[in-house]
Structure 1
Amino acid sequence: MYTRTFQIVPQTCQFKRHTINLNVTSYKMIDTVTGPGAQPFAVQLKALTDLEGRYQPKLSGLRLIEGAQDNGLRMTTRLRELEVKDLLSLTRFFGFSSDTFSLAISLLDRFLSVMKIQPKHLSCVGLCCFYIAVKSSEEEKNVPLANDLIRISQSRFTVSDMMRMERIIMEKLYWKVKAPTALRFLRLFHGHIQEQLDAESKTILSLERLEAQLKACHCAFVFSKIKPSLLAMALLCYEAQEQHDPEHTDKISEALTCLQKQLNIKGEDLVCMRELIGKCLADYATAKCSKPNGQRLRWIISGRTARQLKPSYYKITHLPTIPESAL
């Protein structure tokens, strides 16, 4: 049987083949907790911000990707964005949580920033990052078989290839998975702000809409270079500004200003980020934007493949959209 050998190098090193079953229990996520019984906001915030810098993709590696020519020989921003959209499509197809998607993108960007990979290996890297995130965030009963993931995503590598690549990814990331993602910051900030608002003002910032906007931002390479806390903060500021409801947004703005001071974020950085988010969401809303393709997945599960898959794999069939208004 033909077995693919991966050549993914930080400089000139080559990796040997690996066949291993990873123990996912060693890197389970520690969720941000809100509501009664949760740790004080300041304690949770400090815990996340202390870890944030350690899990950031390396800027030098991201700049290499940003400056690469799209000639099919090197990783580029376009290829990374296409891969992320495929992972978003898989997330929707399986009905997985936003946590799974955000963690998968964190793993992918961190790995791409420290390793030089050939474009032909990107689909295997992306699917492995996705699989690690699934095993870390989802209930065990909902974790699909690796072989099913390969078939549904129309990939051309084997389960053995996936196992070797998964080991390479985990080694290069030092087995550190539970990253403080922008989603975790977003939920923490949103919960903190909601506690300071009256009943009417609380309806302004829809967490569902904010999470959908964050997924759109993850599809754009530019946000890979931004700290998760800054991205989450800027997204909240952007959404509050877009509501055009002075009576209630004034209270939200006051809460956001206090939060900005706690995070020690410069005003000009926040303004710049809001503009980037606005452009990203405007582009995502256009017909020209290449949104995750649900049709691709619906096609691959027809016939014999469909009969071999679990019924629970048919949860989502529509394209991901951002809600028009808050609930």
Structure 2
Amino acid sequence: MAGPRRAPRRRAGEDVAISPRQRDEVIQWLAKLKYQFHLYPETLALAISLLDRFLAAVKARPKYLNCIAISCFFLAAKTIEEDERIPVLKVLARDSFCGCSPAEIRRMEKIILDKLNWDLHMATPLDFLHIFHAMAVSSRPQLLALLPTLSPSQHVAALTKQLLHCMACFQLLQFKGSMLALAIVSLELEKLLPDWLALIIELLQKAQMDSSQLIHCRELVAHHLSTVQPSLLPNSVYVYSPLQQTLVTCNRGAFHRQPSSVPGPGLSKDNGRPEAPVTGTAALYQRRPAPAGGCKQASAKRKVEEMEVDDFYDGIKRLYNEDLAPEVVALENMGSVCGADVSRQEGSVSPCPPLQPVSVM
């Protein structure tokens, strides 16, 4: 008598769900694409939110994760970006190395839209970050005086980078986007305002959120952000290396990091997978050569293009009345004012380049 029929053997990994690690890696890959195609941070934030909503509604297989992610990224770009900044689908599929054809991305877009009921206009954690930051500045105007080197829009840009790092951490998915944004704002205000706790309580009451969850979220966010910045070796020492070139006053402090072939920070060329952190040596800085015509202002367009697009938020700048001339904004961010002390003689100013950490055996 024949025994019971065995169930057909399934392929390895066929029913395996997408792991949290795979989810974080694909978000880091999307962050690389955001830098590569010069898109807004709002586009990346919306793409991550769409991806998480879809994965929460559908049990997808890991082999479809790249196609899902690039489709969410393309939907977010078409929702946020201006028409002339939206990547061409054929170029996006080719340059992203997603392994999908444009037709497959189109089909996946239709599936995502059906599962999300065609609702793409959702509030992201970045939207709440802008709201909480504007409320904090409105309630505590002295906060602007505590940021002598940063304008409010640049301060928001720095917080945005922290938020995008946190959105790529699966452990923080347990919190709402508003809670995550308020945790980042509270950690920043703690370093700037003596009465930061009273301000955070006001924001908690207005947002009607639980304080115990905020404390837990702050702890996880602080731990995650502390691991983002690579720490120096315990036996590192600083060695002063004097400049070999003639110091020019208008270029004082204009040191730039050696440009990387990867457009995004902490990302490798291997299909967007995160790069291992560099330990033991610090990034080298090279000094910008002095202009041939003396202390002459470069064009504002060139200086603006050299700066990160994240540092410019037109809406935020109008909100804080930061309608300054582009030349002033560019020179402030370069850390020098051209022509301020041209009359100083060579050698009267002591150059102070960044200290270089060196490992000692």
**Category of TM-score, reference length = shorter chain:** 0.5 to 0.7
Per the alignment, residue 254 of structure 1 pairs with 198
Give the root-mean-square deviation of aligned CA atoms. 3.1
Q: TM-score, normalised by structure 2?
A: 0.58
Alignment check: 8 A CA contact 1:128 1:165 kept: yes
Q: Secondary structure at the match of 2:66?
A: helix
Per the alignment, residue 75 of structure 1 pairs with 18
Alignment check: 8 A CA contact 1:284 1:291 kept: no
* Residue type at the aligned position of 2:34: T
Match of 1:217 among 138, 144, 166: 166
Distance 2:22 2:14 in 1: 11
* Residue type at the aligned position of 2:200: L
Aligned residues: 231
Match of 2:31 among 67, 85, 88: 88
Alignment check: 8 A CA contact 2:29 2:271 kept: no
Question: Rg: which structure is higher?
Answer: 2
* Residue type at the aligned position of 2:75: I
1:120 and 2:63 are equivalent in the alignment: yes
Per-residue deviation, 1:222: 1.8
Per the alignment, residue 164 of structure 1 pairs with 107
Distance 2:15 2:69 in 1: 17
The C-alpha deviation readout for 1:122-146, integer Å capped at 9, x for no partner, is 0000000000000000000011111
* Residue type at the aligned position of 2:93: I
C-alpha change, 1:257 and 1:201, in structure 2 (3 Å) is farther
Match of 1:237 among 186, 190, 196: 186
Unaligned runs of 5+ in 1: 1-69, 299-314, 321-326
Distance 1:255 1:268 in 2: 16
Q: Secondary structure at the match of 1:195?
A: helix
Alignment check: 8 A CA contact 2:93 2:101 kept: yes
Per-residue deviation, 1:71: 9.5
C-alpha change, 1:166 and 1:92, in structure 2 (3 Å) is same
Q: Which has the higher helix share?
A: 1
Alignment check: 8 A CA contact 1:86 1:292 kept: no
Q: Which 4+ runs in 1 deviate beyond 3 A?
A: 70-73, 199-205, 294-298, 315-318
Alignment check: 8 A CA contact 1:88 1:292 kept: no
The C-alpha deviation readout for 1:35-70, integer Å capped at 9, x for no partner, is xxxxxxxxxxxxxxxxxxxxxxxxxxxxxxxxxxx9
Distance 2:202 2:76 in 1: 33
Please, which moves more after superposition, 97-106 or 218-227? 218-227
Alignment check: 8 A CA contact 2:45 2:164 kept: yes
Alignment check: 8 A CA contact 1:197 1:251 kept: no
Higher RCO (CA 8 Å, separation ≥ 6 residues): 1
* Residue type at the aligned position of 1:167: K
C-alpha change, 1:200 and 1:156, in structure 2 (3 Å) is closer
Unaligned runs of 5+ in 2: 1-12, 232-263, 273-304, 311-332, 334-361
Per-residue deviation, 1:269: 1.3
Identity between Structure 1 and Structure 2 (%): 27
Per-residue deviation, 1:161: 0.4
Q: TM-score, normalised by structure 1?
A: 0.64
Per-residue deviation, 1:100: 0.3
Alignment check: 8 A CA contact 1:150 1:157 kept: yes
Q: Secondary structure at the match of 1:155?
A: coil
Per-residue deviation, 1:238: 1.4
